Amino acid sequence: MEMGDDIARQLGVRTERTRVSLIFAAVLLAAAATAACGPIAFVALAAPQLVRRLTGSQSLPVVGAAAMGACLLVVSDIVSQLLPIDANVPIGRVTGIIGGCYLIWLLTRKDRVRV
């Protein structure tokens, strides 16, 4: 299907049926991940920016952003489990706190880009 619908049909692949089943599988996997740990929107926003700052690259390093997102989630999970209070804090809230601290750090830097 990556080479085009016509070639896939010639090879005997039911393109519409395959496309719908792959979309359904992706939605199901995303829903399962969200149900398990809550919405974690900060990771998708911060991971590429952190990798870009660490590597100094102008392009978007997809593999590096995925690795940074995994590291952010692991750190958030460890922080949420090691809190001194006896409360269950969802990972989504911990990533939000880390994201807020990162945003405050970005806003208070002295070497900001001027427009």
Q: Do residue 1 and residue 17 come from a single domain?
A: yes
**Same domain, yes or no: 11 and 24:** yes
Res 38: pLDDT: 65
Residues 59, 92, single domain; the answer is yes
94 in the same domain as 78: yes
Does one domain contain both 45 and 30?
Answer: no
pLDDT of residue 115: 42
Contacts of 46 (CB under 8 A, 6+ apart): 72, 99, 102
Q: Which domain holds residue 2?
A: 1-37
pLDDT of residue 112: 55
Condensed to tens digits (0 to 9), the pLDDT of residues 14-57 reads 888 888 888 889 888 878 877 776 667 678 777 888 888 888 87
pLDDT at position 60 is 76
Q: How many CA atoms lie within 13 A of 54 on its CB side?
A: 11
As for how many domains the chain has, the answer is 2
Looking at the structure, tell me whether residues 70 and 114 fall in a common domain.
yes
One domain for residues 81 and 113: yes
Buried b (16+ CB within 10 A) or exposed e, 57-73: eeeeeeebbeebbeebb
Residue bearing the bigger pLDDT, 89 or 20: 20
